[in-house]
Amino acid sequence: MIATVNVGRYPHGVAVNEETNRVYVVNFNGGSISVIDGTTNKVMATIEAGKGPRDVAVNARTNCLYVANLGLHDMSAINNKTLSGAV
């Protein structure tokens, strides 16, 4: 099955947490991450990620996202349980 899911502006990087069945899409121009439920293919949340997020990685063991931000040359760490920057 192929599904099209509308996310934020200029989607760029993608990561999947197979443990939680969540998909994370970086929205470069929107400064955010779209969190998609892999079962329903629906956006369940949009998280602020920093200026110019480019790539995302997920650590399934700690349930944490790591986002490389091109705009400020830094990285955001996001707690996937709370969907916030508090890791």
> Do the domain assignments include residue 85?
no
Whole-number average pLDDT of the chain: 88
Task: Please check whether residue 86 lies inside any domain of the structure.
Answer: no
Domain-located, residue 15: yes
Residue 26 CB contacts under 8 Å (≥ 6 apart), including other chains: 11, 12, 13, 14, 33, 49, 53, 54, 55, 56, 67
- CB of 55 within 8 A of CB of 41? no
- Residue 50 backbone zone (phi > 0: left; psi -120 to 50: alpha; other: beta): left
The CATH number of residue 35's host domain is 2.40.10.500
pLDDT in tens, the chain (87 residues): 688 999 988 998 999 999 899 999 999 998 999 999 999 999 999 988 888 899 999 998 888 899 999 888 898 888 877 766 554
Give the total number of structural domains in the chain: 1
**Whole-prediction pTM:** 0.88
pLDDT for 47-65, tens place per residue?
888 888 999 999 988 888 9
